[in-house]
Chain A
Amino acid sequence: MTAGLAAATVAAADLSGRGGPGFLSPTGAEVAFVLIGLVVLGSALLVVTTSQIVHAALWLVVTLGGLAAEYLLLTAEFIAWVQVLIYIGAVVVLLLFGLMLTRAPIGRSTELDSLKRWPAVLVAVGATATLLTVVVDAFHSAYLDLGKTDDGSARVTGESLFRVWVLPFEVLSVLLLAALIGAIVLSRGRADADGKGR
């Protein structure tokens, strides 16, 4: 947090000193990255630790929205808005429906966490150590020029999609068809049999 504040003051000094064409300078984008990243991590931790199950879904919305903002900072415009539409608009709604259908306990519940914590902690520490080591080792000298944008608009994605990725695109339609039919079979199968519900 102190790093973020320091960066913010630096950015403020930079902004007042320059007064350039845009009021969010590349340094501003870095500050925004740090702040949004903290929000994303904090809300992700709350998804994993909160004792109210519906709140987990709502914190997931914050995490996904923050990630959409990070995609915007990476100039992946189209992906960011797809994230908002598919994840926040559709997947989270579906998860909430799932919670309501399975009679998820509202309010606090103590039975949310598994009793086997040590394997989880072990995996978490191991995964962090491995991933951070790899990232540090591979990218310690990489540099991203924030001044140069090649924006990932819908046009750019479309060109790539329909020129290079046509077969995966068609396969995805089969996948969606399979998912649709599978979901219908799974949710209809016993609906007629037990036929109750309110």
Chain B
Amino acid sequence: MTAHGYFSTYALVGLVLLVGGGFVSVAFAANRLLRPHAPNVEKLMTYECGVDPVGEGWAQTHIRYYIYAYLYVIFAVDAIFLFPWATVFADPGFGTTTLVEMFVFVGFLAVGLLYAWRKGVLTWT
């Protein structure tokens, strides 16, 4: 790929991002300019099913959400490796060896998943 091709392609991506950001900010700015603005304490209170809210909105989450979060991270990393692998494994010079290497990689992580399953991490208590 030539330099101009590469950079102008991504310049287009950047331009789309700028236009998108500009669209949202113009919409919100217009909204802010046009709407009436008269807040009071009642209006600024958090809406909670019609009754007055109790406590604060920032509660401590349970550890089980964290377990799913790190399972996601580990397997996101695993999935990232599939992209370069999938583009090359059919090329000449790679073939079966590369296929086996990937299955060894996925196999190790499958052991981890098996461990998580046996420990009962995956069940939603």
Contact = CB atoms under 8 A, between A and B. Distances in A.
- Chains A and B touch (C-beta atoms under 8 A apart): yes
Would you call the interface of chain B mostly helix, strand, loop, or mixed? helix
B121 interface: yes
A143 interface: no
B105 A21 contact: no
A90 B80 CA distance: 12
Given A173-B109, A177-B111, A72 B80 contact: no
A5 interface: no
Interface stretch (B24-32, B37-45, B46-54, B65-73): B65-73
Contacts, number: 155
Contacts of B60: 100-101, 103, 197-198
A24 B13 CA distance: 12
Interface string A127-159: 000000000000000000011110101110111
5 contacts: A90-B77, A155-B87, A161-B84, A169-B105, A173-B108
Interface of A: 20-26, 28-29, 32, 69, 72, 75, 78, 82, 85-86, 89-91, 93-94, 97-98, 100-101, 103, 106, 146-149, 151, 153-155, 157-159, 161-163, 166, 169-170, 172-174, 176-177, 179-181, 183-184, 187-188, 191, 197-198
Interface of B: 1-8, 10-11, 14, 56, 58-63, 65-67, 69-74, 76-78, 80-81, 83-89, 91, 93-94, 98, 101, 104-106, 108-109, 111-112, 115-116, 119, 121
